[in-house]
Structure 1
Amino acid sequence: MGWSGIVVLGLAIGCAGWLFHPLRRASGPAGKSLAFAVAAALAGAALAKAAGRATGLFYDGELLEWPVCTALAFVFVAVSVALRARR
């Protein structure tokens, strides 16, 4: 998965995570909180990819790369939407 795959994964996870998060109504206007969730998902997926490559856990195209990037993107979206709702 190249960087274009990370962008697509981040967009999908950000939109889905924001849509299904129970606190999304309390997180403010829909446009700003959705953009924030997508940015958080992109950051989480990119960080997971960079950390996995730096530690040697996986390389481009390996099967372990997808679930690790997806899981960290979901965690970033969940935490960011929850923190934004508490403000």
Structure 2
Amino acid sequence: MGWPGIVFLGLVVGLAAGWLHPLRRSVSRPFGRIWAAGLAGVVAAMVAKMLGNITGAFHDGDSLEWLVCVLFALVAVTVTVGLAARR
């Protein structure tokens, strides 16, 4: 999976997690926060891919790459939506 796949994976995970997060309902302008969650998912997935390649933990297309990118994106979206709900 190349960089376009990582961006797509991060965007899908970010948008889905931002939409399904329970604190999303307490935020004013929830659709603006959804796009922020999507962006956070993309950035987190890209960072996870770069860290994995730098450390040699996985190679392009490994199953571990998918799992790590999804988990990083979920954590980033959880933090982003949680912080947005506190405002």
TM-score (structure 2 length as normaliser): 0.94
Report the Cα offset of residue 30 of structure 1.
2.4
Q: 1:11-48: CA deviations, max 9, x gaps?
A: 11111101110000122212310110001000110010
What is aligned with 2:8? Answer: 8
Report the Cα offset of residue 62 of structure 1.
1.4
Large movers: runs of 4+ above 6 Å: none
- State the AA in 1 paired with 2:70: T
Q: Among the aligned pairs, what percent are the same residue?
A: 47
The equivalences for 1:32-47 within 5 A come to: 32-47=32-47
Q: Is the 8 A contact 1:18 1:24 kept in 2?
A: yes
The equivalences for 1:1-87 within 5 A come to: 1-87=1-87
Q: Is the 8 A contact 1:27 1:82 kept in 2?
A: no
Q: Distance in 2 between matches of 1:45 and 1:10?
A: 5
Q: Distance in 2 between matches of 1:61 and 1:14?
A: 20
- State the AA in 1 paired with 2:78: A
Alpha-carbon RMSD across the aligned residues, in angstroms, is: 0.9
